[in-house]
Chain A
């Protein structure tokens, strides 16, 4: 490939290949070989020494000018990714914390027989169940489809609330331990709690997008 090139031209191409290290790794991998080929082609088409020197200078200044720009672009891309990831992480973390808090409170209330906590036992049970199932479904649907997040949250929590509360109400006829009205109230409160949180979160995201 290099047999028609002068020794100094070969050196220049060799040095340029090393100088490509100034570019970000991904950019170098993607376009490095093409850039070296381009410099080689330019060398082949340059016949006088002065033209060749102008080419080397131009290529060098091009590298000095564009390598920092590529690094800057990479940083911007990473920032964009972090900005996108950040609200998701906060939302998932918040849900996990709320569910854990409800579970711990319920466990504590049951093991120590705390009447004030047990009074809300059905609500806490429903909050944990709909929180885990509903949020997983909402998260997957929002990430995998283009459906509106708030609408997805509404229908998902409605279904996740209705199905178990109806099932438990039906079973309540046969099992006297189950208090049907309390179960229903628990699930209604849980629906309002989770959907309310999603509504608040959606409004917060909208407000930050507007800013």
Chain B
């Protein structure tokens, strides 16, 4: 679910765009199937994390039957909170020398 939130954090996307973004960002380690993707989208819409766009962002370039999704304000806050939680965990892991130190740290 967090992968989908991340994919939608910078712009609205349709299903295939979300799938490709997740695939590219994780170097092919996370591949969302159609059932997983749309099952998650359904639950995230029900939870108010994402919403469907009424109009396509660029009707000239795309198939009119595609459905675009974007983060809601609540979805953005949830994604941000989860990112901060993960960052905190990475910091803890680094402090315990489980990860190599960055140049800045």
Contacts and interface: CB of A to CB of B under 8 A. Distances in A.
13 contacts: A34-B38, A35-B35, A37-B66, A38-B15, A38-B19, A39-B34, A58-B31, A58-B33, A61-B33, A62-B33, A63-B34, A63-B35, A70-B35
A65 B33 CA distance: 10
Interface residues of B, number: 18
B35 A30 contact: no
Contact of A23 (B35, B65, B67): B35
Contacts of B63: 37
Contacts of A42: 16, 19
A41 interface: yes
B44 interface: no
Q: Chain A contact residues: over half helix, strand or loop, or mixed?
A: helix
A66 interface: yes
B42 A59 contact: no
Interface in B15-43: 15-16, 19, 31, 33-39, 41-43
Q: Does more than half of chain B's interface fall in helix, strand or loop, or is it mixed?
A: helix
A59 B33 contact: yes
A66 B38 CA distance: 10
A201 interface: no
Contact of B36 (A30, A37, A39, A66): A66
Given A38-B16, A62-B36, 17 more contacts: A31-B38, A31-B42, A34-B15, A34-B66, A35-B15, A37-B66, A38-B19, A39-B34, A41-B16, A58-B33, A59-B33, A62-B35, A65-B35, A65-B36, A66-B33, A66-B35, A70-B39
Contacts of B42: 27, 30-31
Interface of B: 15-16, 19, 31, 33-39, 41-43, 63, 65-67
Interface residues of A, number: 23
A70 to B, nearest CB: 6
Nearest to B16: A41
Contacts of B38: 27, 31, 34-35, 38
Nearest to B39: A66
Nearest to A63: B35
Nearest to B18: A38
Contact of B34 (A30, A38, A69, A73): A38
A41 B13 CA distance: 14
B16 A37 contact: yes
Contacts of A31: 38, 41-42
A127 to B, nearest CB: 44
A61 B32 CA distance: 11
